[in-house]
Amino acid sequence: MLWPKEHGAYAQLAFPLASGLAVGGAAPAGVAIGIAGIALFLAAEPAEVLVGARGGRARDALAGAAARQLAILGVVAAVAGLAGLAVGPHAARLAALVPASLGAVLGALLLGRRVKTLGGELVAVAAFASLHLPIAAAGGAEGIRGWGPAVVWLAVFAAATCAVHALKARHKDRDRGLVRAALAVAAAVAAAALATGLAGGAARMLGWAALVPAAAALYVAARPLHPRHLKRVGWSLVAANLVALVLMARS
């Protein structure tokens, strides 16, 4: 089994799936859509091997296994996704257009071996975050519970992704503009989260939920951390996202 090597992507997949199931009540259609999303995520690694993104040596050695794994996961994704959409409500089918469209863009970036750029990673972030939409809709979630967590994940994942790129750029003493941009993004997300939390109303809990991981991303972007601390940084961001998930599930 060829597993995706980007450990942070596992969390970016898991949290929108979990929030969608939490607010949608784990409806069968939502579970099926979630399985399709997981299968497509796992299909990324064999696809990268086949297009040469992991190097020519890996492609030569693993092409057969990668092709078989990609075919199996493609079938699983198609069967689970179509089944979920078939038994789910119309709202879920409409909501599925968002991750499907973003997934198509991500597939094109993968073929062009551009997924590992900051732009490619931000498209991946948007695709992961949007998985909440059809899963929540499949369980009948409407209004802010249907779309709010997806917005939170998009904002905090984007801030964290920019912060990690800034950490690497600062260590290599290059692209100071990226460091400043990451600080601005994280600060803007944190400020928007705080303002939303203080404003009250239906979105209040979403604001407080987003504030925790946004503050963590701002810390990472601002501090001169060494890349050897990336594992610790990653787990800190996961813990912050877990707090956000609990707050949104209870809202």
pTM, full prediction: 0.94
**Last residue of a domain, which of 106, 140, 174?**
140
251 has a pLDDT exceeding 80: no
Contact predicate 160/185, CB 8 Å: no
* Domain housing 184: 142-251
Given this model, what pLDDT does residue 54 score?
85
Higher pLDDT, 225 or 165: 165
In this predicted model, what pLDDT tens digit does every residue of 84-93 receive, in sequence order? 999 999 999 9
8 and 72 inside one domain: yes
Q: Categorise residue 55: left if φ over 0, alpha if ψ from -120 to 50, beta otherwise.
A: left
Residue 175: pLDDT band (50, 70, 90) is low
In this predicted model, what pLDDT tens digit does every residue of 233-246 receive, in sequence order? 899 999 999 999 99
For the record, the structure tokens of 15 come out as 């949290």
**Last residue of a domain, which of 100, 122, 140?**
140
The total domain count for the chain is 2
Residue 80: pLDDT band (50, 70, 90) is very high
